Each structure stands twice: as C-alpha cells, then as structure tokens.
Chains A and B, each alone.
Chain A
Amino acid sequence: MTWVNAVIEGILLGGLYALFACGLSLMFGVMRIINLAHGDLALLGTFMIMVVSQHLGLSPFAALVIVLPGAAAVGYALQMGILQRGMRGGELAPLLATFGLSVVIGNLLLEIFSADTHSLSAGALTTASWQISSQLSIPALGVLIFAVAVLVLGGLQLFLSRTSLGRAMRATADDPGTAELVGINSRRVYATASAIAIASAALAGMFFGMRSSFDPTLGPAQLIFAFEAVVIGGLGSLWGTLVGGIILGVAQTVGAQIDPAWSILSGHILFLAVLAFRSGGIFTAREVRV
C-alpha cells in the first residue's frame, strides 16, 4: 500500500510541476525565450504571499488576490523593460538576462529573509485527507492543487484557441513580422504572455509554499522541475506538460520510496532517459501549438 500511496502522491505532485511549467512553456512558445528566472520568480511569489498574509492577517488564498495582479505586472514589466530589449540581439541576450535576474532575485530573497525555512499555512486543508483504507489516504491539498493545475492548463488552452488575444498570441509566435502587418501589436502580445506566465508562476509558488516548507535557495530547483516536465511531456503541448509533470512527480515519489536520497535524482535520471530515447518528449504537439 505504501507504493500505491507513493504513486498517488506523485500524480498529485505532478499537478504542481505542471502548474510551474505552463508559464515557462508559454513564454518559450510565444517568445522563444527560456526564462531562467522562472523558478525564482515563482519563489518571489511565495514570499510575497507570505509577507502579505502575515502583515494583513489574511489567509494565503486571500493574499493571492493582491499578489497575483502584482505578479502579472512584474511579468509585463519584465518583458517590456528587459526581455524586449534583449530580444533584438537574438536568443542569447534574453537568456543571459534572465539568468542574471535569477541570481539577483535568489540572493535578494536570501538577504531579506535569511536562509531560514518558512511555510504557508493552508489552514485545515494542510492536514485534511480522504481516508480510503487504513493505509491509503488522499491529501485534500494535493487534490486541490491538481484540480487548479488542470483548470489553469485547460483555461490557457481555451484562451489560446478561442479568444482573439489567444489567436494574436499564436500568430505572433509563428511570425511576429506578419502578425504586425495585420495589426497585431507584438510587443503588447509578448508582454501579456509574460504577465500570464509570471502570474501562473506565483500561483504555483503559493501552492508550493503550502505543500512544503521553503527557503530562498529553492528557486532554481523549481525551474529545473518545470523544465523537466515540459521536456518529458513534449514541447509545445500543454496537456503533454501535465503528463510530463505527473511522470516526473511519480518518478520522484517512487524513487523516494526506494531510498529518500534518490527522490530528486530519480526524476533527473528519468528526464535524461527521455532525452536519450525519446528526445521529442512523450507527446508531440498535435493540439494547439504554443
């Protein structure tokens, strides 16, 4: 039964990884930018939610109402202020700029909040679970995170395929020059994509902080997990990202069941195995391409 528990826990963890990954995937799909600061921006969201909920005495969910628009604004400004300028010089400059940003955010958090671990309380949700049998239980928080991940991915899919802004985003991703010709403002489209991406990162950051304790050094790890989920699932497929996240999550929890020291390592090894044997990922983009 412990193995079944490990698999269930892994599937639910995969939802969190998919939530981390969808913003990364969106920015790569639309702007061809790999945002190396994605994990640190998510962690910045975690800390902001902690600060807001502590100072205003709100629950993290209520703090999210304040932090989420802030995160979107940060994403918008990031694209307009830094990435747009860097994109003129090709792929290299935005990549290096986001690495610099990752170093800046990570170390600022370390300077402000020290290396202590913190946690976000989800109230009764933290410990609530459905007891299936004496050994098998399903944590409510995990199910909530998974459901939110599915909603966000599905919403993003609908947004890209059905709305005019989503269509503009796909057109700009395909060919910004031609998109400009038909009246699309590519700068604004890019900035909107970036705003959505960073807001989703902050949302993932909140759930991350509820699920486990955190400290300022954990940003890069979230970036790596998100990236692994994207590659395992296959680039350009949002549902593939969910499957990739689940596979990564299960690899980690089952690996931890074998030996706790092998938890994260087994996820990495699975990722490398996918690269070796199925470098296009498990899904190839058939649905809406982002």
Chain B
Amino acid sequence: MSGGVRVVRWTRLSAAFAVGTGGLLIALAFVPYAFGPGTTEKLTELFVLIILAAMWNALAGYGGLVSVGQQAFIGIGAYAVIVLTDHGLNGYLAVALAALFAGLVSLPTSLLVFRLRGGQFAIGMWVVAEVFRLLVTNDSGLGGGTGRSLSALNVYAPADRQAYTYWVALAAMALLIIAGFVLLRSRLGASLQAIRDDERAAQSLGVPVMRAKRILFAFAAVGCGAAGAITMVNTLSVTPDSIFGVQWTAYMIFMVLLGGLGTFEGPVLGALVLFGIQQEFSDSASWYLVGLGAVAIAVTLVLPRGLWGALVDRFGIRLVPVGYTLRGLLAHTAGQPEPERPVPHMTTT
C-alpha cells in the first residue's frame, strides 16, 4: 500500500478558501467607512459570538473539556477593562491586557478544576463562574450588583469610538482564529485530540496531558476574556448578572453543536445562525432561549456532528486544513481514481 497513497493537508479548495478569507477580512476592515455605527455595532456582536464559538469548540471539540463556566473569563475580561481604565490606561490597550489577564487567572483555576473530570469539570467551572460573579457583586468599587459603565472611551467622538471598537473586535477575531488554527494543527493539537479520545492511553504514550490541557484552557480563557472585554467597550456598561450569566454558555453550546463540534469551520457557521436568530427574536428572551436549548438537544441526538460535520460527511469538503486527507487509497485497491475525500478517522474529529 505504499506509493499510491499520499497524505494531504492543503487542498486546492482549502488554499482558495484561505485566500478568500484573507480577502473577506480586508473587505470587513473597510466596513466602518461605508456603513454607520449601527452596522458596526452589530458586526462587533457577531465577531464576539464567533470568538466565543471558536473558543468553546477548541475546549470541547479538540480537548474534550466541556465547560459550562466560560462566562467566568468573559466577566473577568469585561471587569478587567474597568479596573485598568480606572487606573488611567487607554480603553483599547485595556482590552488586550484584560484578555491576557483572563488567561493568567485561568492558570490557578486550572489547578483546582482539573481535579474534576468530564461532567464534574463542567459543573466545577460553573461554580468558578459563580464565585467570580459573587465576588464582583460584593465589591462596591466595581459597582456591586448594579454594575458599572465605562467612561474611559468618552475621549473619542462616538462615531470614531464605534469604528475603533469594530476594528479591535475584527483584529481580535482574526488573531484568535489564526492562533487556534496554528495551535490545533501543531503537535499540541494532535496531543489534545489524543487526550480527548482516551486520556489514559495518551498519557501512557508519553503525551504531556496536564500541560496540553492547561495550554488549551489558558488559550480559551484569553479568547473568552477578549470577548468579554470587547463586549464591554461595545456596550459601555456591564452588570455582574449578565456578564457572568450562564446564557453565554447556552449560546456557545448552541453555536458549536449546531455548526459541528470538533470541526474548525462549523462553529463559525453556528455563530452566523445564532446571530441571525438574535436579530429576529431578541425581544422575547426566554422563548428564544427555550428554542436554543431545544435545538441543542435535538442536534446532539440527531445530528451529532452538526451542520458542517454533515456537509463534510456528505461531500468531503474541508475548507480549513486542520486535519489530514488521504488521497489515492481506493485508487490503489480498485484501480480507479478516487475523488478527494477525507477519511473519517484521520480528519479533524
């Protein structure tokens, strides 16, 4: 079976997709010149959703770490912006530092919650998020239960501010997605998927389990912190109950499950769907959450690989080359050219 079989990462389609994505990002950078602040504010929300979906998917889909408490880092990111600007820092510089601070907080947190596994880790993270919410609620300097508003950005004219916020969000999304791509394609990504599939087997093969999980956890915390910080500069006010609320996890799970857990492209698709739904139904909050929860249950049971996973299974397309594609396998055995098709076990799952 040698000679005829080649392992392919980049395909013509994925190369074209990479170029297209680059072009789209550049085009998106010009949106503030062509559209008003209403549009950029909405698109900033979309970028936040895409970041969150990508982070939750990296954790659960690639590392097997299902967390229902990532809102801990979203809230920390948002409140870190307030604390840093209170100390006179520029609002947008504070966004970057707040994201890194969330990553820093994740390290001691991981020492505690990594003692729990599977579903216990999931609730353990929920407790962590509640602890941070209550700490903030009890801190009158942070506005207590009524929250705070951000005044540091008043130095900019409103239209400028909205454009800057938009660019910061766009840059953060692009950076985090590229970083996620590099991370998951690397040796670490392979380690993580081995851990997700069987932690003990991975350990016995010499995979540095704890280190790999910790790096992924910190990466997701930085991303969620960035999402929280961007939400802060986009909405300019925050309350602990909303920013530390479990509805963020509901959004993340919905986006990732619907798009396709463990696929790189799926969560972005899920984020677009959720964004569309939010534009339609955001005024009846609880019915809309009932719908999200119901769809999440249905997708888990009926379409476990989500919309994108179903597309990949059916058509064999893959736009982001995170996994491997075997070419020529059947050609060798059946003597016929085989259309490019990912082999399920060697792909991103």
Q: Do A and B actually bind? A: yes
Residues of A contacting B116 with CB < 8 Å?
231, 275, 279
Beyond A86-B301, A107-B287, A272-B127, whether A92 also contacts B293 by CB under 8 A is no
For chain B residues 21-61, which have a beta carbon within 8 Å of chain A? 60
- In angstroms, Cα B287 to Cα A220, docked, is 18
B253 partner residues in chain A, CB cutoff 8 A? 96, 99-100
Chain B residue numbers with a CB within 8 Å of A279 are: 115-116
The answer to whether the Cβ of B250 comes within 8 Å of any Cβ in the partner chain is yes
Segment touching B, from A28-36, A161-169, A189-197: A28-36
Q: Bound complex: CA of A58 vs CA of B94, how far in Å?
A: 59
Whether A268 contacts B120 by the Cβ 8 Å rule is: no
- A106→B131 CA distance, assembly (Å): 21
Q: Which of A85-112 contact B (CB under 8 A)?
A: 85-86, 89, 91-93, 95-97, 99-104, 106-108, 110-111
- Asked if B123 contacts A100 (CB within 8 A), the reply is no
Judge whether A223 is part of the interface by a CB distance below 8 angstroms: yes
Nearest CB of B to A17, in Å: 14
The main secondary structure of chain A at its interface with chain B is helix
Residues A268 and B294 in contact, CB atoms below 8 Å apart: no
23 A-B residue pairs with Cβ-Cβ distance under 8 Å, sorted by A, are A28-B119, A33-B119, A91-B118, A92-B64, A93-B301, A96-B66, A99-B122, A99-B253, A100-B293, A100-B296, A100-B297, A100-B300, A104-B293, A104-B297, A110-B286, A224-B126, A227-B123, A261-B134, A265-B131, A265-B135, A272-B131, A275-B115, A279-B115
Interface residues of B (CB under 8 A from A): 60, 64, 66, 68, 111-113, 115-116, 118-120, 122-124, 126-128, 130-131, 134-135, 137-138, 246, 249-250, 253, 257, 261, 286-287, 289-290, 292-297, 300-301, 304
| Cβ-closest 3 pairs across A and B | A34-B119, A103-B293, A100-B296
Beyond the given A100-B295, A261-B138, A264-B130, please list 19 additional residue pairs across the A-B interface where CB-CB is below 8 A.
Answer: A34-B120, A36-B68, A36-B122, A92-B64, A95-B118, A97-B300, A100-B300, A101-B297, A107-B286, A107-B293, A108-B286, A220-B126, A224-B123, A224-B126, A224-B130, A231-B120, A261-B134, A269-B131, A275-B124
